[in-house]
Structure 1
């Protein structure tokens, strides 16, 4: 008789998924959101995000979203990393008991979470490396140690870009490259007639747009220089500022900050731009990035200019689908040629051939299959152990009866 794992509570027969993430569910819609919202259609998904240090006593904010996905936000006082791990461990254990989470998959984006989840015994552990967190501003000193430990614990490692993959390929026996994907139909809407949102409608053309978080990866000097070089161009930023003071942001009559927008509204904004931009600095924060924005801009039908980010150059620049520029002068030339693009239809056809090679549905499906393989191996191993135990018991009983 094989040992059968007990089914997850609720209408699903697949094990629960506990996602431990450094990002907030309510921030910008990114890789974890695309994948977890798809998992939530077939199993219970619990999205546990990094703590907010804003409370006198530890407490947990729990809410339910689309497809029943549960978001848990820990609120803690700050007494140092070790104290945080103890508090988070207690909050997580109580939460798992309350939600009836038994056999589960642990899916990590945040290596720091290892500090308070070591005691868990998931059926499978997945580490999806979407960012080179070590290079982020304010990354704690012990993050590399936590990541090494997570790589040892993980059954599967996925990476969000080729540079991140190459930096880890020798560190784990089962590592898989899944570059950031695209929900093409969503962004294709920007190619049709969309109503210019009220806060963008008054901005003159040509508009050069950037969509995403405004943080230490942005090249602020480039933005300043470009705005000064071409006062007739209008630079539009759609996204929240993070880890940057508002005072640090370049200010000029032709720079417009429209704040963060819901994912559903992004095509309306992109549809009103003339050129899309990836204003990234060349620094340690951007060395390994593989921006999801690139295929989103292209799906929106926008000529795109990017700084020479390795993964962008490899995937899109080398084929001429994206213009690459570094200095302010190069950016001016690249934007001018993007605005003047004569064979727009031929370029779009080439873009669509490239974009058709991937989708979030396909990425999720392939990840899911790899995860199911690990779970099946686990079940067989558990079944063999059970059979061995039963045989041992039968043998003991038989010899006792002799």
Structure 2
């Protein structure tokens, strides 16, 4: 174990998560699962308003209710997951009255949970907070792990104002803040002097299986003709550029394959074309086999406020496969033009796809894979632990 790792060893950590544990894994689960072997972690899922228990809403949450998943459960040694159960009011982001009521319920439920589980002045590691009153419970330290620019995901002015206020207050009150990208650092550094960039990472050994000749391409992908230009991930209306996909599909030789789900009404973003194939969501365990069948991987992002601040999880996942990757020019890839074909326009994106299909050098495959090996989740967590060791005196974590 490194010296940095001992900064958090034998501690109790309360994690305020942005999604259910059983949802597709993001930095939230990746980080907490790697802290748990040396610490006691309590992962608190987001609360849902009382009406969402009775109607369709979050699919993972609904499945938990339907299947009777225990509210408090151990998912791995030293890591327990809790699903809030109090009767929260709807419209938490839009109604002051609802937010005030939830501001009484939420800290009361968390305080009860801490007593029940024997957590005494744990470290608070928040990826967001649905109500700021929870910060008043008394923690030995407060870490804000801000993986995205949350306000940019909300178009409704009231919701956006709410998220902006919460995000700014979390940033100001945290003793250390982690952000996922350089532009997000620039945005937040005036609010806190201890804001640090730790880019997202990937499960490198897992996604490197795509380069193994023994990996079998699934039947639903294998029957699609080549060349295949693929996208793996969630699609939303803010980031995914459907117009670019339509332009790409104008070449009837290209088969565009999308492996992933849709947020909200984002299905309408993807054009209906004979050579556009939407295969739907797949388990993370299956993704290397799908990536093995792609000829080019792509990140067809719009260039806007949202994509200015993101650092796509799929970036290092793609590089780990060795496949050529084409991306629109967002800040996350600007320093990786030696590894990623970066386009400043739709026309250049199309040209890059054409070049990737015709003249990719085997040496480039190895360079991409080698580079990705320095960006696994283990290195990601180690960097955060080193920053904690250097900027949070250990006596403050007692």
Q: What range describes the TM-score normalised by the shorter chain of this pair?
A: 0.7 to 0.9
Structure 2: which 5+ runs fail to align? 1-7, 56-64, 92-97
Which runs of at least 4 in structure 1 moved beyond 4 Å after TM superposition? Answer: none
Aligned to 1:291: 312
TM-score (norm 2): 0.83
Structure 2 SS opposite 1:361: helix
Aligned to 1:7: none
Partner Cα separation in structure 2 for residue 146 and residue 74 of structure 1: 20
Partner Cα separation in structure 2 for residue 245 and residue 77 of structure 1: 27
Partner Cα separation in structure 2 for residue 253 and residue 13 of structure 1: 54
Q: Determine which structure has more spread, i.e. the larger CA radius of gyration.
A: 1
Per-residue deviation, 1:282: 1.1
Aligned to 2:209: 189
* From 7, 18, 21, the counterpart of 1:22: 18
* From 261, 264, 270, the counterpart of 1:243: 264
* Superposed CA offset, 1:292-349 (max 9, x none): 21111011111000011112122x12x2x11122544322211110011242x22123
Partner Cα separation in structure 2 for residue 124 and residue 238 of structure 1: 40
Per-residue deviation, 1:254: 1.6
Structure 1 SS opposite 2:21: coil
TM-score (norm 1): 0.83
Partner Cα separation in structure 1 for residue 364 and residue 302 of structure 2: 27
Q: Does 1:90 align with 2:108?
A: yes
CA contact under 8 A between 1:35 and 1:364: conserved in structure 2? yes
Structure 1 SS opposite 2:137: coil
Partner Cα separation in structure 2 for residue 98 and residue 348 of structure 1: 52
* From 361, 366, 376, the counterpart of 1:359: 376
Matches within 5 A, 1:2-401: 14-53=10-49, 54-55=52-53, 61-74=71-84, 76-78=88-90, 80-110=98-128, 112-138=129-155, 139-193=159-213, 194-215=215-236, 216-227=238-249, 229-314=250-335, 316-317=336-337, 319=338, 321-343=339-361, 345-372=362-389, 374=392, 376-378=394-396
Structure 1: which 5+ runs fail to align? 1-11, 383-402
Of 303-312 and 354-363, more deviation after overlay is shown by 354-363
* Superposed CA offset, 1:268-312 (max 9, x none): 111110000001111222111111211110111110000111121
Per-residue deviation, 1:171: 2.6
Of 368-377 and 35-44, more deviation after overlay is shown by 368-377
Go from structure 1 to structure 2 and tell me whether the alpha carbon gap of 1:219 and 1:122 turns closer, same or farther (over 3 Å shift).
Answer: same
Go from structure 1 to structure 2 and tell me whether the alpha carbon gap of 1:200 and 1:173 turns closer, same or farther (over 3 Å shift).
Answer: same
CA contact under 8 A between 1:17 and 1:44: conserved in structure 2? yes
CA contact under 8 A between 1:28 and 1:212: conserved in structure 2? no
CA contact under 8 A between 1:180 and 1:291: conserved in structure 2? yes
Q: How many residues align?
A: 362
